[in-house]
């Protein structure tokens, strides 16, 4: 059994559960990272995601000032992967009992994140669930809606559906662990291996700071890049398996990742996690992957660097059976 499954999150079981749920829903919506439909000459896009157990890390540290960025980023980045600019953001906050001071902190954080992502906070739901939510904790889910011209959107999707060999793969650095894999990463302090105030070697942050560094909002940058990009992959739950979502049956992704952020080295070493599992759970320092043709490569890199983001040459698409190959030794074959 994988370390992630031992910690309580079984990705394979989750996949089967999602498959069973979706199979009962009668819908014709399209999309890989988010869903969209064509109505009234527009592409209408929708996405939903939460912060997950990173909430417990914020609670342990005692600082919620950046938590809204995780909620917003996990949603707007996914929707932008479908070439649809996010417009409106809705949230659902479920608690054991109302906490006015906490809600004020969450509201401030959400407001700042929505402003950075250029989305309008459009209300939501607050629920007190004493019989369902544990005392002194909460769950927070977000929903985003966006819209694009139908013909324009179809031209973007056509590019993603027509991928060819030798397509370049560029990675944009993450801010750290983002909002996936925290059920496993939390074991570092919950099992007494480290204290939250301990410094992470080769990092200027403590363990607590690493585990609560907010997820990057890429959506505005993605909108600027989409005319020159063939696809985007938001590296979230499932790690680099997310690349498999966009690959046709006759192409595989060959990646070379030579530098890994200190927090991931720490997790792998202290929790004895196999390298393959690390790349199947975490972003390993790459939050977004952009597929570009050779003739567009320099233009895309220039746009990324102008936004003060770090761009990394990850590899390319190669003829062969659909999979992701990392450093010639790690093979990920299904999402």
CATH number at residue 100: 3.30.1330.10
94/47 same-domain check: yes
Residue 42 belongs to a domain: yes
Co-location of 320 and 248 in the same domain: yes
CA-angle at 208, arms to 203 and 210, nearest 5°: 40
Among 53-67, 123-137, 261-275, 315-329, the minimum mean pLDDT is found in 123-137
Widest distance between CA atoms in the chain: 57
Q: Are residues 194 and 230 in the same domain?
A: yes
Same domain, 290 and 181: yes
* Model confidence band, residue 225 (pLDDT cutoffs 50, 70, 90): very high
How many domains does the structure of the chain reveal? 2
pLDDT band at residue 334 using 50, 70 and 90 as cut-offs: confident
Q: In sequence order, which ranges of the chain are alpha helices (DSSP H)?
A: 3-7, 11-23, 54-61, 67-80, 100-117, 150-160, 182-185, 187-190, 207-211, 219-225, 262-270, 275-281, 297-306
In a domain, 220, yes or no: yes
Q: Residue 183 has what pLDDT?
A: 94
Supply the pLDDT for residue 328.
93
- In this model, does residue 21 exceed pLDDT 60? no
Whether residues 151 and 38 fall in one domain: yes
Q: How confident is the model at residue 139 (pLDDT cuts 50, 70, 90)?
A: very high
Query: What is the domain extent for residue 154?
Result: 34-158
pLDDT band at 29 (very low <50, low <70, confident <90, very high): confident
Q: pLDDT digit string (tens) for 128-137? A: 999 999 888 9
Contacts of 195 (CB under 8 A, 6+ apart): 189, 207
How many C-beta atoms lie closer than 10 Å to residue 291's C-beta?
25
Mean per-residue pLDDT, 21-27: 58
Tell me the Cα Rg of the chain.
Answer: 20
Residues 335 and 329: beta-carbon distance below 8 Å: no
């Amino acid at each position: 059994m994988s370390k992630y499954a031992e910690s309580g999150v079984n990705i394979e079981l989750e996949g089967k559960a999602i498959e069973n749920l979706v199979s009962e829903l009668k819908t014709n919506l399209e999309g890989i990272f988010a869903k969209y439909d064509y109505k009234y000459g527009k592409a209408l896009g929708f996405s939903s995601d939460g912060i997950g157990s990173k909430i417990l890390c914020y609670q342990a540290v005692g600082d919620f000032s950046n938590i809204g960025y995780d909620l917003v980023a996990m949603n707007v980045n996914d929707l932008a992967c479908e070439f649809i600019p996010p417009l409106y953001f809705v949230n659902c906050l479920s608690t054991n009992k109302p906490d006015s001071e906490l809600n004020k902190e969450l509201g401030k954080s959400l407001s700042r994140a929505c402003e950075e992502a250029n989305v309008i906070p459009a209300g939501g739901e607050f629920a007190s669930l004493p019989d369902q939510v544990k005392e002194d904790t909460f769950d927070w889910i977000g929903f985003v809606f966006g819209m694009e011209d139908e013909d324009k959107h179809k031209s973007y999707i056509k590019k993603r559906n027509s991928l060819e060999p030798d397509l370049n793969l560029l990675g944009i650095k993450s801010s750290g662990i983002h909002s996936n894999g925290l059920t496993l990463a939390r074991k570092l302090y919950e099992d007494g291996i480290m204290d939250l105030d301990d410094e992470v070697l080769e990092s200027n942050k403590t363990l607590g700071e690493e585990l609560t560094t907010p997820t990057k909002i890429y959506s505005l940058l993605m909108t600027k890049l989409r005319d020159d990009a063939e696809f985007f992959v938001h590296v979230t739950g499932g790690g680099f398996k997310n690349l498999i979502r966009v690959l046709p049956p006759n192409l595989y992704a060959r990646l070379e990742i030579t530098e890994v952020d200190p927090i991931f080295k720490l997790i792998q070493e202290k929790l004895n996690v196999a390298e393959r599992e690390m790349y199947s759970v975490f972003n390993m320092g790459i939050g977004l992957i952009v597929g570009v043709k050779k003739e567009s490569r320099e233009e895309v890199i220039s746009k990324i660097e102008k936004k003060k983001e770090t761009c990394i040459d990850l590899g390319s698409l190669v003829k062969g059976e659909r999979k992701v190959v990392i450093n010639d030794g790690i093979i990920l074959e299904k999402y």
